[in-house]
Chain A
């Protein structure tokens, strides 16, 4: 810290240093030098003392010599001329009988970093390479590297390089390793030191003589070696096996890095090596140094990408300690999420639940989102915890829970009922913009099921003037639009107010443009608006259903044991998962329509009341659906299924007109599902099972017609449970046209309700298109229309997600 009197202090020091009385008293002289260095390390500019310090260098007191050298090396570049004066003393010291003095002089001679002095340094350096004392040779070897980097363009002295290669056989291991380092720098342009078979074997044989640091360096450089035969490779590997389980994390990491490099063509060996380092890595995770612990955690995350089961049995080692800093806790939670399985899920969730009330809000939020991640596979348990947390009525917790739920329904649409019922009353607790954005998104996607959605929105719209966050405003616009589509009568007025505000008063261009866009869209009629705004409610990639595949090791091996894994905010951070519906549209067509719309230049107030298209469209879906859950019990055997199916089929054939009996309903529906041919039975089955639909029989893929039979039980809060059995049928391109026409004629009979009519109408329109559809025939017993609709929507979601994944 430069202080005010620094100039005085320097003047004072100079006076003392040039005082002959001080110079004659060794202790006083040394203390004065000490003061100068202290001032220097505190940031005071003491470069003016350079000439005095040069004089102070000529002393027999080694401590003082060392101090002066610290000073000189720091300021030599500022005083190249005066530095010449030091060289004489240094060269004299290089002849000193004491090896410590020789090495000191040699090291500082090369540390001055002055190209003008190179000619004076070369000779003592060359002598240093042949010195008797190892400590002088160590310094001399590195000295050549320093010299080379001072004049990177100068020609490389072949004699020196040869001598350095020769010194690889030096009895002192540090000299050997320094030779490697120096050659690596000097020969950088040629790709570094030559690593051939004799050198490799020499280095490997002497590995044990070096200390931890030397071993790491050798192992790193050996990564360039390519064994000539598989036998040689395995000899090397078995030689290194002990280092792989070294108690020193640096050696263990360097060895594993070398293993992964050597075995890049042998994945099985690499995987075995990963298993082997599990112990040392876990030990590093329990190290007293939190930085080592953090590094180990980051690398464990890398390993888990290829070997997800690696740490499964040791999940308790990743429980957070009370006093650990937040960044370690967060990494541990990320690892815990990866380790979850059927046996430990209860323990893990219990532990994570404890972190949710942590005093540190970041830790609490990380814990909540970790629970959300586990919820993708164990949704019921996790939703229970999450809804419980809402009861705490704490701002940061509620916000994190709503955001997590938002992410969760995006990948697990079957959770939506619980989420919708939990949303009531959250909005007062949400203070931050991310939380409110998430709430708005949920209202947009599931607004028809949250009875209080219009009131919540109204609150938002009333406060829009004081809303600071751009994101919230944009989301609010979209949500109001989408809610208007499904609940027009309740939202019409507030949509008008919001659009008016956003277009007339809003200062932000983005919000205004978006509002204008929606406004013009409404002009094009409610059908078009619906097409544009009808977005996906679930993740198109749906990766969790199939489970994350193990990555090949080569994907991350290059970054192992580098700074990269530590710098990333987290391996698990996903790209923004929820797209706002206006960014993702199902049908490519509306885009072209939209551009037409934008061409119309006239802007006028839309006649909101005149949207008669909407009323028919939404009447059925405006009914608030009570939560519907599916289950597989009691199980249905294939024989029973066949019996039921045939029985119903016969009935259907016989009494086609009397289909609406008391306890039984049959429904036929088409769902866009372009992925049939590539869709494998396994992924379909996995996807169905996740939402508790059991598939009983398949035709093999790529056969036509393609059929799937499935069943489930629906449980309804008020109406009890029903059995649903169904068939998915895809008849292929050729026969489709005929079938579609036939179906069209039957539509009137089979399908009931306006929504279905509308949908099959659309299906008819598209029958010439590229869309491929499956026919779904569902039979339900006893009859429950709402449950059947709920089931159909779940089925549709699953098929959509599957198809967009495979496309």
Chain B
């Protein structure tokens, strides 16, 4: 059971504090912040203790979401899952997750907490149940402006942490639809995360894909929804594969509300979506990708006579020519004594920068069209360059987004709502693949 729940900003400001069982005072909030900021790098921060009290926390949206408990036998899976679910609820209700939105909607969050947890016991986290109880209207933290739109990436993915942030259209409070006459919309996102390791000789050592199908529903009443996947979708390694176009995943898990009666025959998922965001299906695929990994690197690294390090990097994008990767950033670790960098890049929109505190070069490519090849020549001044310094160069890490593309090949054939919705309902299907960790060894 949970004794207290509190939310802190990254600077340690108290945003929300609720005590459920009266087992500890509110001073533990400061104790927690002192502890969490004093940790050294090799201490795992997730669970910390202060006397009889145990802090369990997650970080979401740059905030600390903390639960305390007095019983060391509490399940960490449950508490962490609860904190994640709670932050997802807050995100659904407030539209987005940030210090500002939590501050502005604190009354709403107290109300949520009151319904979600009673006496330290989790009661319900289903938004269908909660919508009957929550009365407070969300305050949108950002008034709509064109300036904000330009800041948000195509899928709003700016950082690793918030990589699945919905685009601005989807980041609005779920309940505002009622009175502000918000459109009744439904978003179906297929999001895949790749983690790939390519060896120095170009051999793919590891290629994993974790995928999710998410529904974000802004419809006040939606009784049933049918999602059709590729007909040649198969699960597990043993199943026979069709002729070429089959989509295969190793493991697949569905949300408990999904009805699978039509899945085995027609690959159709049926469910009654509740308001807000939910993950309908999760799947994973390891090692046996249907297509080649999207990027290859051909490096040449040598020392020149003047004690400089020359790196000639050719990066090839193996996507189909009609797709493109965006926001590509290659991080190339460099030897310790690196001082300065001179560069020759193959097109003007690229940029490269030596980040001394990360000991790495960041090579940024805003848009990389499939089937093309880019190159960069970096000349690096390194003080005290020795033959073994070359060991410090690499591995190269790529961060990118592939809009409108799934690596596994999963496609949504159709999305039908029944009963047929009264006129203005919009259905959006979006695909995106992110790099979770794309490593190219040198």
Contact = CB atoms under 8 A, between A and B. Distances in A.
Interface in A542-564: 561-564
Interface in A202-233: 211-213, 216-217, 220
Contacts of A366: 42
A616 interface: no
B71 to A, nearest CB: 9
A369 to B, nearest CB: 11
Contacts of A416: none
A212 B15 CA distance: 28
Contact of B58 (A139, A289, A327, A350): A289
Contacts of A298: 76
Contacts of B391: 357, 388-389, 391-392
B54 A317 contact: no
B114 interface: yes
A283 B119 contact: no
Contacts, number: 223
A288 interface: yes
A393 interface: yes
Chain B binding surface, main DSSP class: mixed
A294 B59 CA distance: 13
Contacts of A181: 1, 119, 121
B122 A291 contact: no
Interface in A262-292: 279, 283-284, 286, 288-292
Interface stretch (B144-152, B167-175, B203-211, B289-297): B203-211
B106 A362 contact: no
Contact of B282 (A139, A283, A317, A351): A283
Interface in A413-430: none
Contact of A146 (B45, B82, B119, B160): B119
A564 B72 contact: yes
A66 B208 contact: no
B287 A316 contact: yes
Contacts of B395: 354
Given A142-B119, A174-B124, A41 B14 contact: yes
Contacts of A326: 41-42
Contact of B76 (A66, A319, A566): A566
B56 interface: yes
Interface in B55-114: 56-59, 69, 72-78, 80-84, 106-107, 110-111, 114
A253 B41 contact: no
B359 interface: yes
Nearest to B394: A354
Contacts of A62: 135
B54 A37 contact: no
B208 A286 contact: yes
B42 A359 contact: no
Contacts of B331: 322
Interface residues of B, number: 93
Contacts of B441: 350, 354
Interface stretch (A244-252, A680-688, A719-727): A244-252
B75 A41 contact: no
Interface string B402-442: 00000000000000000000000000000000001111010
B119 to A, nearest CB: 5
Nearest to B439: A322
A222 B422 CA distance: 48
A566 B132 contact: no
A569 interface: yes
B284 interface: yes
B205 A347 contact: yes
- Residue among B56, B125, B195, B438 having the largest count of chain A Cβ atoms under 10 Å: B195
Contacts of B106: 37-38, 41
- Residue among A63, A67, A288, A292 having the largest count of chain B Cβ atoms under 10 Å: A288
Given A67-B107, A70-B114, A317 B286 contact: yes
Interface string B312-336: 0000000000000000000101001
Contact of B77 (A292, A317, A360, A393): A292
B206 A249 contact: no
A178 B122 CA distance: 10
Given A37-B110, A43-B14, A357-B392, A562 B80 contact: no
Contacts of A561: 75-77
Contacts of A361: 41
Nearest to A38: B106
A393 B160 CA distance: 33
A566 B42 contact: no
B360 A359 contact: yes
B333 A254 contact: no
A614 interface: no
B265 interface: no
B46 interface: yes
A569 B43 contact: yes
Contacts of B78: 213, 216, 250, 253-254
Nearest to A353: B391
Nearest to B197: A319
B48 to A, nearest CB: 8
Contact of B16 (A41, A279, A330): A41
A145 interface: yes
Given A70-B110, A247-B253, A357-B333, A566 B47 contact: yes
Contact of A292 (B73, B84, B256, B439): B84
Contacts of B394: 354
A21 interface: no
A494 interface: no
Contacts of B13: 1, 42
B389 to A, nearest CB: 8
A213 B85 CA distance: 11
A292 B75 contact: no
B208 A317 contact: yes
B388 interface: yes
B128 to A, nearest CB: 11
Given A288-B164, A354-B395, A220 B121 contact: no
A138 B107 contact: no
B118 interface: yes
Contacts of B111: 63, 66
B363 interface: no
A145 B160 contact: no
A292 B80 contact: yes
B208 A351 contact: no
A322 B122 CA distance: 35
Nearest to A66: B111
Nearest to A391: B388
Nearest to B331: A322
Nearest to A1: B13
B49 interface: yes
B223 interface: no
B397 A322 contact: yes
Given A41-B14, A41-B106, A351-B197, A291 B84 contact: yes
Contacts of B114: 66, 70, 107
Interface of B: 1, 13-17, 19, 22, 26, 40-49, 54, 56-59, 69, 72-78, 80-84, 106-107, 110-111, 114, 118-119, 121-126, 132-133, 135-136, 160, 164, 193, 195, 197, 199, 205-206, 208, 210, 251, 253-256, 282, 284, 286-287, 331, 333, 336, 358-360, 386-389, 391-392, 394-395, 397, 436-439, 441
Which 10 residue pairs spanning A and B have beta carbons closest together?
Answer: A321-B437, A391-B388, A247-B253, A362-B41, A327-B44, A213-B122, A250-B78, A566-B47, A250-B77, A322-B437
14 contacts: A37-B106, A63-B107, A63-B111, A70-B110, A135-B133, A213-B78, A213-B123, A289-B84, A321-B195, A323-B160, A388-B391, A393-B388, A563-B76, A567-B49
Interface of A: 1, 34, 37-38, 41-43, 62-63, 66-67, 70, 74, 100, 107, 113, 135, 138-139, 142, 145-146, 174, 178, 181, 211-213, 216-217, 220, 247-250, 252-254, 257, 279, 283-284, 286, 288-292, 294-295, 298, 316-317, 319-324, 326-327, 330-331, 347, 350-351, 354, 357, 359-363, 366, 388-389, 391-394, 561-567, 569
